[in-house]
Amino acid sequence: MQTEVKEKPRYAIVASVQLPEVSDVEFEASLTELSELAKTLGFQVVQTFVQKRSSFDRTAYMGVGKLEEISQFVKRGIRADELEDDAQEWDASAVEIDALLVDHEISPSQARNLELAVGCEVMDRTMVILEIFHRNARSRAARAQVEIARLGYMAPRLREAAKLAGPQGRQRSGMGGRGAGESHTELDRRKVRDRIAELQREIIAMELERKTQRARRLERQGIGLGGVSLVGYTNAGKSTLMRAMTGSEVLVANKLFATLDTTVRALYPESVPRVLVSDTVGFIKNLPHGLVASFKSTLEEALDASLLLHVIDASDPGFQRQLEVTDAVLQEIGADEVPRIRVFNKIDHVGDEAEQAAWTAELQTRYPGCVVMSARRPEEVASLRAAIVSFFQQDLVEEELLLPWSAQQLRGEIYSHCQVLEERTEDEGSWFRVRGEPEKLRVLREQLNPGSQGREKEYWEV
């Protein structure tokens, strides 16, 4: 009988410096976010150390007194009875701090000095996010993009890592000379640069392939295919909404950055015109610029879209900050001019029915035209779907077409590419009152004309 091996818990502490220009609300929200990131990475945060300073300490990020306090905490470790989970299963002497998480991006020398001062591994906010992306990337393109970002982050830290390893790691030969260890570091950095260049070439090739595939997809579907991209803060419920609108089995997890690779599905039930929905990577405050650049191809689904659904967690007290972060990132990638519907999701997480109704009214007053809903309520998903279809149907035109008895084989084409409002039978054939895109209606008219049968038959077979 095979027994399940339970993984030993990992524990982390968080450290952050509050600068004068950062409000208490914003500071607390950032700490909460880092704790959620830590949870995604598999850590349980057991203690938080904060310090108010006019600026970061250039040497080790925090002041000497606070470093000593953290060091003493790390040396003491955590008793099993102080923990919330099932760590009591483990020997109390083995319950120790695995990492110190810093809520800012710090320099390589600051990280090295901090690690020496507190006595455990140090990960800054950027490193935490990069590690999550590294673990969650699935597609070849996503893995390559994440590796570029990680290599770019690690390159300037190689020298500090050699220093941290001590005399053995540096392998200095001679007094004050350029030792073998330092030469090895330079070699590593050159290898990193070469690997980044190789990955960038691979990404360019994959980008061309992606554009070719997308062009073929549009060609197969015909002119005027509608595209909707779900954008918004990570963990706002985008994947749940995607699943509800398309009937697809996409990953849904209560974790930050559960989705890294773009998923594309058709709106269900299918509409006229056919609408494709894509779920993109979630945004986050202080997303490293290297990752914004690396995931440009993923986020470009938002640029390709005709409509953006900006999904916001209505139950999160800090939603305003999240909304601003998403707006800023969309502006950075040039997607801020794409038409947008703000969707306040998870309204069912806001108290009882009266509280939900009051908060819905408040949001609709603040953000005219927004949609307030829960992705778990079918009737509200149906209402959002109707709004999406209405957006894509605003440029459709109504027309009457006569389908002669001699051309009944084209009946399927009419139903496939138009919304049939009415059908009636007369002596000369079937009359259809339809709504469709002007170009497709033109094709249908020419196809019903025997003189253009050959050319239009080729169009519908694309």
Q: Is 348 one of the annotated binding-site residues?
A: yes
Q: Is 406 one of the annotated binding-site residues?
A: no
Q: Is 327 one of the annotated binding-site residues?
A: no
pLDDT reported for residue 390: 87
Least confident of 111-115, 180-184, 353-357, 394-398: 180-184
Q: Which amino acid is at 360?
A: T
Q: What is the mean pLDDT of residues 239-266?
A: 69
Q: Is 336 one of the annotated binding-site residues?
A: no
Q: What is the pLDDT of residues 412-451, one digit of tens each?
A: 888 877 888 889 988 888 899 988 888 788 888 888 865 5
Q: Is 285 one of the annotated binding-site residues?
A: no
**Helix, strand or coil for residue 221?**
helix
Q: Is 257 one of the annotated binding-site residues?
A: yes
Q: Could you give the count of Cα atoms lying within 13 Å of 117 in the half-sphere of its Cβ?
A: 20
How far is 238 from 191, CA to CA, in rounded Å? Answer: 39
pLDDT reported for residue 216: 66
pTM over 0.75: no
How far is 111 from 117, CA to CA, in rounded Å? Answer: 10
* Whether residue 368 has pLDDT greater than 70: yes
Return the higher-pLDDT residue of 7 and 199.
199
pLDDT reported for residue 217: 57
Q: Is 246 one of the annotated binding-site residues?
A: no
Q: Is 239 one of the annotated binding-site residues?
A: yes
Write phi, then psi, for 455 (nearest 5 degrees).
Answer: -65, -40
Other beta carbons less than 10 A from residue 29's beta carbon: 18
Q: Is 259 one of the annotated binding-site residues?
A: yes
Q: Is 416 one of the annotated binding-site residues?
A: no
How far is 115 from 160, CA to CA, in rounded Å? Answer: 11
Q: Is 238 one of the annotated binding-site residues?
A: yes
Q: Is 258 one of the annotated binding-site residues?
A: yes
pLDDT reported for residue 174: 41
Q: Is 237 one of the annotated binding-site residues?
A: yes
Distances (CA, A) of 276 to 87, 238, 373, 392, 409: 46, 15, 21, 11, 28
Q: Is 232 one of the annotated binding-site residues?
A: yes
How far is 144 from 128, CA to CA, in rounded Å? Answer: 18
Q: In what order do the strands lie in the sheet with 429-436?
A: 397-404, 429-436, 419-426
* Partner residues linked to 265 by β-bridges: 277
Q: Is 347 one of the annotated binding-site residues?
A: yes
Q: What is the mean pLDDT of residues 375-397?
A: 90
Q: Is 215 one of the annotated binding-site residues?
A: no
Q: Is 374 one of the annotated binding-site residues?
A: yes
Q: Is 3 one of the annotated binding-site residues?
A: no
Average pLDDT of every residue of the chain: 79
pLDDT reported for residue 453: 45
8-state DSSP, 349? G
Q: Is 282 one of the annotated binding-site residues?
A: yes
pLDDT reported for residue 387: 92
* Whether residue 4 has pLDDT greater than 60: no
pLDDT reported for residue 290: 63
* Whether residue 173 has pLDDT greater than 80: no
* Partner residues linked to 431 by β-bridges: 402, 424
Write phi, then psi, for 272 (nearest 5 degrees).
Answer: -120, 120
Q: Is 220 one of the annotated binding-site residues?
A: no
